[in-house]
Amino acid sequence: MIESLTRLRQQSKPRSHKHFGTHRRGRIVAATVAIVATSLSLVSCVTNEEDGTPEGWEQILPDPVPEIQAMVPEALAQRGVLTAGANPPFPPFEFKDSDGQIIGVEMDLVRAMASVMGLDFAPQEQDFSLILPSVQAGTVDMGASGFTDNEERRENFDFIDFLYAGVQWAQATDRETPVDPDNACGLTVAVQRTTVAETDDVRPRSEQCVAEGKEPITVLSYETADTAATALILGRADALAADSPITAWAAERSEGRIEVVGDIYLAAPFGFAFPLESDLTPAAAAAFQHLIDTGDYERILAQWGIEEGLLEETLINEVPLAESAFNAS
């Protein structure tokens, strides 16, 4: 794990998956896209509403840890329910199953953290643009919606990081000529609108193509990551560019129709958002460290097919917990 994390961090540069304001890293407010009936069997594997969790999935709910329970702010402990703002669809981080329940790897992680703190967990679906303001206002306890931990956001929030991820491309498995992200001039590439994959990767590559006198990249920009993946499956695009867990998830659910290509790059940390200097952050950080120490953290991510970019210790704003202002020891 640590080798994967080190490699990702060495490849990284400052970025923001979700742009500050109404847009997010690859996601903006979810939109429903109609697809002709003859295509449903092809694309159901990558749409937001799925039958449920991956095959072999099980709920991981650790026992409460008394010393961590004692760190929970009194008002929250009395309420007994940890709330988190989330904005599906963004599989595998968060999306809805066929019953309308919000599921995903972030939901599993936060629910496990809540269990360590002796709390229940209730995700709250919100427009993405409202989540951070709600965290600030105390309407929800935290934000768990694929946030990138970056310097801009740290001015108003603290982040418990849970994963390093970057951009990765995918192509159709039956493609005769392999896609090379570094030689993509003239290709058609599907992305999620306003994501780093679009703004920091594909469009700059296209501009470079033009500057070199080559054909530009045709960018197909969609509201959600699942519809971008669908465009690749249906042959409307030569490639998909998205955050690496999103690309891996789409490939896994595509029944062998698409595959990841190339390396992961533009790596950055994803984190859970908390009010600046909140009394809850030390308890949540201790709970997260407990998940790492017991192996539950790795098991939860593995159930969702995430095996790269894992952390070996809790980071708050990319600083190890033991070195942060939140260290309770």
Whether 97 is covered by a domain: the verdict is: yes
DSSP, res 14: S
What is the model's pLDDT at position 31? 30
What is the model's pLDDT at position 128? 84
DSSP, res 24: -
Mean pLDDT of 131-142: 97
Please report, for residues 92, 153, 190, 195, 259, the alpha-carbon distance to residue 201 in angstroms, rounded to integers and kept in the order given. Answer: 22, 21, 12, 9, 19
In this structure, which amino acid lies at residue 3?
A: E
Alpha carbons 303 and 59: distance in angstroms, whole number: 10
Q: How many CB atoms lie within 10 A of CB 23?
A: 18
Higher pLDDT, 153 or 327: 153
What is the model's pLDDT at position 296? 98
For 12-145, where are the alpha helices, taking DSSP H only?
40-43, 66-69, 74-79, 105-116, 128-137
**Among residues 242, 293, 250, which one has the least CA distance to residue 266?**
242
Whether 159 is covered by a domain: the verdict is: yes
CA Rg value for the chain:
19
CB contact set of 34 (below 8 Å; sequence gap of 6+): none
Strand partners, 147: 271
What is the model's pLDDT at position 44? 43
Please indicate, yes or no, whether residues 215 and 153 belong to a single structural domain of this protein. no
Please report, for residues 156, 165, 198, 243, the alpha-carbon distance to residue 263 in angstroms, rounded to integers and kept in the order given. Answer: 33, 11, 17, 12
Taking only the tens place, the pLDDT of each residue in 83-117 is 999 988 888 999 999 999 999 999 999 999 999 99
Whether 73 is covered by a domain: the verdict is: yes
Please indicate, yes or no, whether residues 257 and 272 belong to a single structural domain of this protein. no
Please indicate, yes or no, whether residues 81 and 133 belong to a single structural domain of this protein. yes
Strand partners, 272: 160
- Give the confidence band of 328 by pLDDT, cuts at 50, 70, 90: low
Please indicate, yes or no, whether residues 210 and 171 belong to a single structural domain of this protein. yes
Whether 328 is covered by a domain: the verdict is: no
Please indicate, yes or no, whether residues 300 and 235 belong to a single structural domain of this protein. no
The CATH number of whichever domain residue 178 belongs to comes to 3.40.190.10
Mean confidence (pLDDT) of the chain: 86
Whether 329 is covered by a domain: the verdict is: no
DSSP, res 142: E
Please report, for residues 72, 119, 235, 280, the alpha-carbon distance to residue 75 in angstroms, rounded to integers and kept in the order given. Answer: 8, 12, 53, 10
Given the DSSP bridges, would you call strands 319-320 and 315-316 parallel, antiparallel or unpaired? antiparallel
Among residues 223, 244, 266, the one where a domain terminates is 266
- CA 199 vs. chain centroid, Å, equals 17
CA dihedral for 327, 73, 94, 21, sign (positive or negative): negative
What is the model's pLDDT at position 20? 33
Please indicate, yes or no, whether residues 29 and 131 belong to a single structural domain of this protein. yes
Domain count across the chain:
2
DSSP states of 275-294 as a string?
A: ETT-SHHHHHHHHHHHHHHH
Higher pLDDT, 312 or 253: 312
Please indicate, yes or no, whether residues 68 and 147 belong to a single structural domain of this protein. yes
What is the model's pLDDT at position 194? 81
**Domain coverage including residue 62:** 2-39+48-165+268-323
**Among residues 163, 329, 325, 130, which one has the least CA distance to residue 244?**
163
* Least confident among 74-78, 127-131, 271-275: 127-131
Please indicate, yes or no, whether residues 214 and 272 belong to a single structural domain of this protein. no
Alpha carbons 157 and 31: distance in angstroms, whole number: 28
Alpha carbons 199 and 96: distance in angstroms, whole number: 27
Whether 118 is covered by a domain: the verdict is: yes
Higher pLDDT, 25 or 300: 300
Cβ proximity of 200 and 13 under 8 Å: no
Please indicate, yes or no, whether residues 7 and 119 belong to a single structural domain of this protein. yes
Taking only the tens place, the pLDDT of each residue in 166-207 is 999 999 999 999 999 999 999 999 998 888 899 889 999 999
Taking only the tens place, the pLDDT of each residue in 28-75 is 333 323 332 233 334 444 444 455 888 899 999 999 999 999 999 999
Whether 260 is covered by a domain: the verdict is: yes
Percentage of the chain with pLDDT > 90? 69
What is the model's pLDDT at position 253? 87
What is the model's pLDDT at position 62? 98
Please indicate, yes or no, whether residues 222 and 85 belong to a single structural domain of this protein. no
Please report, for residues 168, 238, 250, the alpha-carbon distance to residue 231 in angstroms, rounded to integers and kept in the order given. Answer: 16, 9, 12
Whether 273 is covered by a domain: the verdict is: yes
Alpha carbons 311 and 9: distance in angstroms, whole number: 11
Please indicate, yes or no, whether residues 205 and 97 belong to a single structural domain of this protein. no
Please indicate, yes or no, whether residues 277 and 260 belong to a single structural domain of this protein. no
What is the model's pLDDT at position 324? 81
